[in-house]
Amino acid sequence: MQAILITFSGMEAVAQQEVKELLGVKATIHPSAVIFSAKRPEDFAKLSYLARSARRVLLFLAQGTITSLDDIPTFIKDIDLAPYITPETTVAVRAEREGSHTFTSTDIEKEVAQHLLKGIKVDLSNPQLTIFVFVKDQYVFVGIDVAGFDLSKRDYKIFTLGSSLRGPVAYGFLRLMTDDGFISMIDPYSTTGTIAIEAASFSMHQSLHSYGKQKFSFPHFLKINSDAFLTDLDAKAKTECAKILAFNPDFQPLSAVKKNIRVAGLHKQITCSRVDADWLDVKLDKGGVEIIAVHLKGRKDQLADVQKQLKELFHQAEYVLNKKGRLGIITHLQLDKFPETKLSPLQQGSIFQGAEELRYWIYQKI
């Protein structure tokens, strides 16, 4: 059985690594997606429940290329839904696009439904089975949405202040700094708690959907004991967590951080404090931190202030990072230069959060 994991552009290698870790299989990389062979039906459930890099997990039905709506019949003509539905199953078609096209996502949904759902019960508000069509530029992937909802939406993110990282993007950013985990991580400019929450749940191998099991649609078409299977996955989560710190010098964003962390059920694992980043060398031991993860915000007219912020951040990182410790910076700002530092540049790249490009830089203490 073939499967597709849809992720954010720039995170394909992270998704490939996660599939390998969770299922023990190798995935091939495609634009904003990875494709792999699932060994058993439980693999689809496991991946949709535990994967952090995923926007969607699909049971593969078809793939192809598209330049106009006239191309749709060519790649869906061989799809057979009979093994997954009964005469009573309700179905809907959902579509998402990335790139420039002459058609809309709604156009795709109507066209696919017209060809694929003849004689099948349709329920657009609460379907038991969702056919998902993902178009990335000229590439198109079609599959049964295993979860039935957008996995990138995090239930814990209730309180926000301005722009923030999507959960999978924060996770992907962290995984670019570590292959197999970490013992300590700090976000010195936390405004929503997203980076800290993703770090803690990854450290504990804990599902971010444990409070929303009833939302998953796979019990309608995967022949497994869903309740027992998910309960068993929860039981395998670790009780110990890496040392995770979320700092901010201002009351309002720190309040939002604390509330989101409590909603996530991780308030005992994550330490939140009102600390200015300039005081890290006072509050933390020398060489006591393995990862510093920073989401830099600001406007274009604030770049001078951002440069001062970066200079102090690198100074603090040189002191608090342990040997081989890493500093990661991700931002929408166009940063053309960085302060002189003893840290060594390790990697840089981009992750696209929809149409927004987020550039990242990773440095290592040597």
**pLDDT tops 90 at residue 354:** no
- The whole-number average pLDDT for the span 45-65 is 97
- CA 298 – CA 300 distance, rounded (Å): 7
Name the pairing type of β-strands 184-187 and 243-247: parallel
Radius of gyration from C-alpha coordinates of the chain? 22
Q: Are 98 and 135 in contact (CB under 8 A)?
A: yes
Quickly list DSSP for 268-333: TTEEEE---GGGHHHHS-TT-EEEEEEEE---GGGHHHHHHHHHHHHHHHHHHEEEEEEEEEEESS
**pLDDT tops 90 at residue 238:** yes
- CA 327 – CA 313 distance, rounded (Å): 9
- CA 59 – CA 41 distance, rounded (Å): 10
Residue 148 phi, psi (nearest 5): 90, 5
- The whole-number average pLDDT for the span 240-259 is 95
State the pLDDT at residue 176.
Answer: 96
State the pLDDT at residue 76.
Answer: 94
Grade residue 306 by pLDDT with cuts at 50, 70 and 90. Answer: confident
Which residue shows structure tokens 């991780």? Answer: 266
**pLDDT tops 90 at residue 235:** yes
- Residue range 78-131, pLDDT digits in tens: 999 999 999 999 999 999 999 999 999 999 999 999 999 999 999 999 999 999
Q: Are 209 and 49 in contact (CB under 8 A)?
A: yes
State the pLDDT at residue 157.
Answer: 93
State the pLDDT at residue 300.
Answer: 76
* Token pair of 317 as six digits: 């990182």
State the pLDDT at residue 180.
Answer: 83
In order of their start, the domains of the chain are 2-145 (3.30.2130.30), 167-206+239-364 (3.40.50.150)
State the pLDDT at residue 302.
Answer: 79
State the pLDDT at residue 336.
Answer: 82
**pLDDT tops 80 at residue 17:** yes
State the pLDDT at residue 54.
Answer: 98
State the pLDDT at residue 179.
Answer: 84
Which residue shows structure tokens 């990389």? Answer: 29
**Structure pTM?**
0.95
**pLDDT tops 80 at residue 320:** yes
* Cα dihedral value 149, 153, 157, 162, nearest 10: -140
The residue type at 273? S
By CB neighbour count within 10 A (0-12 exposed, 13-18 middle, 19+ buried), where does 103 fall? middle
Grade residue 162 by pLDDT with cuts at 50, 70 and 90. Answer: confident
DSSP SS3 for 167: helix
- The whole-number average pLDDT for the span 265-288 is 95
Please count the CA atoms within 13 angstroms of the CA of 104 that sit on its side-chain side: 3
**pLDDT tops 80 at residue 170:** yes
Quick one: which of 296, 339, 347, 299 has its CA closest to 316? 339
Q: Which residue(s) pair with 95 in the sheet? A: 133
**pLDDT tops 80 at residue 301:** no
By CB neighbour count within 10 A (0-12 exposed, 13-18 middle, 19+ buried), where does 255 fall? middle
**pLDDT tops 80 at residue 349:** yes
Average pLDDT, the chain: 95
- The whole-number average pLDDT for the span 53-61 is 98
